[in-house]
Structure 1
């Protein structure tokens, strides 16, 4: 089943269920209201009869005004209403020779207490009761044939107690009407409710279709957009109705747009890295071709004894240097891939960093002098650092070597200090510096800030700083750089202390 029809069915079921519950409740309340109005009307009739047709004589006995009672009875019979006056549960005063529903002893006791009894459906067995005429023989002689009734069918009635001033029950006035008369009023209400139900059913179908269509329309837009993304079009964006995050569909649309943007960024990054990889492979091929050509030429010269004896030592030394250069290119790539793959195991410990820094400076001092550079150290006597010893050397060596590479006839400042639960190292050069765009990219693989120096012996792979960044992340530390074009750069390396073991 299509989602449109499924959602439509769900919406319709929910709307129709709620509507049915509301109408059922209204139907029940309406029935109660109709009966309540009928009981109120019957009770008013009973009170009117008690006021106009009944009274208490000086002896304290019940006295009936037959003319008023018969007039009232005729009027009420035109209203499909019947009157019965009881003197006891089994004794009827009015009308004579009549059939009526008996009053039970329990109800009679309630009537003695002054309660008004209402019956919704009186369908007990009808019996012929004793009749009695009170005070007025004319009531029986002249009116009995005119008021004698024979009522059949279910009745809804009200029993109203008539008492004297002392609270003594003298009579009970029963006023009732056929249930069918009350139901006739309710049938009109019922027909109106059924009509409303049908109209609301049609409206619910329409509303369900509109809601389902609007929902599935947005889902269909997502499906079309997802197909475009699958085909490589990352420019697709879906409109968001509520940017602050309203419905679940709005949230889903925002997440979809973020996903597409992320895929686009990933694709751009892949393209950029691929371009750098191609450039790097071209650079590496060029770098390898030169030493390999040199080595091959020298080997052929040695093999054919074409090199003078006094130059053979110099040729061997040249081949050794070119071989080291090749090994360095290969090792840097292998190191980077191992770090990215999580194959590097860190053996962290606390050691004196000052001695290590001085040793690195000694290793690079000759190269610095060849470039006209000079190291200046501002180090404490001791500075403990918590790091992997070999990787600490690799990080500091790469950054210092980088400073030597990009500085000519300048100074390179190396300083260290103790921070809050961390060791801080700064390496500042007076080199060529970098632009803000170059600063953002120097941590990326294969990137070279100065493409004119791709053929130098130091940092020719473009991987040195990328390796530094990865190693600092493994240490839980960070490396920051500030630079100004033509003025130089400053690298700040921060190693955090060992965290205490929680007990």
Structure 2
């Protein structure tokens, strides 16, 4: 069953159930009122006749005149009421019948105690009143004088007359039920359409997202649960769009990396292959062989470095390396890195300068700390020409801060967003020129610092250089954050 019909059925059941409960209560009330008023009216008549009977008696015997009673019955017939009168022994004395009629003993016993008896339907009662063609409802009222029963009267009315208001109430209920059914169907259709239309919009939007359209956004004005669901849907789609864009960017960077890796590997492999062929066919002079072997060794190291960086990154990313952290002097490491990269800096006409105290304590894995500083400085040299690279360090509260600053080509905000991602290169043109790196250096740096429980940040603008700030916390103050 469709949701709109389920909603309609629910609304209709609620409306009709409410009408039925109210109608049942109304009918019960009208029924009770009709019978109560009828009993009260007949009891008033009986009390009036009882007063006459109590004053018109002789030796405890009723002396009501038969003609008076006939006249009284004639008057009562205008209200469609019937009466019967019984003496103190429970024998019917009016109207006269050929058969000697008496009240049942249990009924007589109740009346003798001065209690009235209300009979809702004489055809359902076991009283002497017996069965009649038209069922009657009425009262048996004892007439008392000086605490003794001197007689009793039965006053009855046709049940159909008493229940006429009840029948009208039932008819009104049927009419109300029909009206409620009609109006309820229209209202439930409108409300169901309004509710399900929102859900239908969500369903259509979901299909669009499934087909790959992440620009879908739902408009909503209310603040009910479906509108909240629409808001959550919009947030989900925005997140999916971001994720999709990120995946596409990662795919582009991966493709770029594969192209760069192939380019970087092809050059040394071509060089090595050419030298080997020259050696094989004695095409290289003897005096040039040492230089050729040296070049071949250099290109081989380049290939090894490219492979090692990939393997190293995978190990770091999968937490497969063991950090042995100790406290040592970071300044000495900074000096060693400066010395190792001095030749590379000279080729780019760069100057490396250290701005740190002679004894700068840091708590880290010494080898990995060296790798981090080496990669950061190497990255600064790569993007700086005829410039200066400053490595500074200082102590902070329970931490050591190292800053690598250059005045090279810098980066845009978009580039900084992905600078620590795998395969990303801030200047892809360098890869085409054969001078670019693999795009893994800063990813390795970021992963290593996070495993140390440290922090790294970058601040840069195009053509204004870059500032990389890393923080290593002291033992017990590390800040391990989930990726």
> What is the rounded CA distance, in whole Å, between the counterparts of 2:190 and 2:465 in structure 1?
66
Partner of 1:319: 296
Pairwise mapping of residues 165-180 of structure 1 onto structure 2 (< 5 A)?
Answer: 174-180=154-160
Partner of 1:191: 171
Report SS of the residue matched to 1:460: coil
Partner of 2:5: 8
Pairwise mapping of residues 211-226 of structure 1 onto structure 2 (< 5 A)?
Answer: 211-226=191-206
Pairwise mapping of residues 78-97 of structure 1 onto structure 2 (< 5 A)?
Answer: 78-84=78-84, 90-91=90-91, 97=97
Pairwise mapping of residues 57-76 of structure 1 onto structure 2 (< 5 A)?
Answer: 57=55, 71-76=71-76
Match of 2:28 among 25, 28, 31: 31
8 Å CA contact 2:38–2:162 kept in 1: the answer is no
Partner of 1:125: 126
Q: Deviations over 1:263-315 (max 9, x none)?
A: 43333333333333333333333333332333333333333444444443333
> What is the rounded CA distance, in whole Å, between the counterparts of 1:105 and 1:471 in structure 2?
108
Partner of 1:157: 138
How far 1:337 moved relative to its partner? 4.5
Pairwise mapping of residues 78-477 of structure 1 onto structure 2 (< 5 A)?
Answer: 78-84=78-84, 90-91=90-91, 97=97, 102=104, 104=107, 107-108=110-111, 111-112=114-115, 118-122=118-122, 123-127=124-128, 153-159=134-140, 174-242=154-222, 244=223, 246-248=224-226, 250-339=227-316, 342=318, 344-355=319-330, 357-358=333-334, 359-370=336-347, 371-379=349-357, 381=359, 383-385=361-363, 390-407=367-384, 408-419=386-397, 424-454=401-431, 460-477=437-454
Gap change, CA 1:48 and 1:284, over 3 Å in 2:
same
> Unaligned stretches of 5+ in structure 1?
130-149
Aligned positions, number: 466
How far 1:54 moved relative to its partner? 1.3
Choose 93-102 or 454-463, whichever is displaced more.
Answer: 93-102
Match of 1:42 among 32, 39, 43: 39
Q: Deviations over 1:176-206 (max 9, x none)?
A: 3232323333222222322332343344444
> Unaligned stretches of 5+ in structure 2?
479-483
> What is the rounded CA distance, in whole Å, between the counterparts of 1:455 and 1:379 in structure 2?
40
> What is the rounded CA distance, in whole Å, between the counterparts of 2:101 and 2:165 in structure 1?
26
Choose 17-26 or 396-405, whichever is displaced more.
Answer: 17-26
Choose 407-416 or 103-112, whichever is displaced more.
Answer: 103-112
> What is the rounded CA distance, in whole Å, between the counterparts of 2:56 and 2:358 in structure 1?
128
> What is the rounded CA distance, in whole Å, between the counterparts of 2:367 and 2:120 in structure 1?
99
How far 1:389 moved relative to its partner? 5.5
Normalized against structure 1, the TM-score is what?
0.75
Gap change, CA 1:213 and 1:42, over 3 Å in 2:
same
> What is the rounded CA distance, in whole Å, between the counterparts of 1:401 and 1:117 in structure 2?
114
Gap change, CA 1:44 and 1:488, over 3 Å in 2:
same
Partner of 2:481: none
- Aligned-residue Cα RMSD (Å) equals 4.1
Gap change, CA 1:329 and 1:168, over 3 Å in 2:
farther
Report SS of the residue matched to 1:82: strand
8 Å CA contact 1:478–1:494 kept in 2: the answer is yes
